[in-house]
Amino acid sequence: MTPKDKAKELVDKTYDTMLILRDGWNSDECNAVAKECALIAVDEIINNDGFTMFDMYLTEYWQQVKQEIQNL
> pLDDT per residue over 28-49, tens digit each?
888 888 999 999 999 988 887 6
Query: How far, in Å, CA of 61 to CA of 55, rounded?
Result: 10
Positive or negative, the CA dihedral 57, 59, 62, 68 is negative
Whole-number Å distance between alpha carbons of 6 and 58? 13
Q: In the chain, what are the domain boundaries?
A: 3-71
pTM: 0.80
Residue pLDDT, tens place only, 14-29: 888 877 777 777 888 8
User: H or E segment at 62?
Assistant: helix 56-71
Query: Residue 56: its pLDDT value, please?
Result: 74
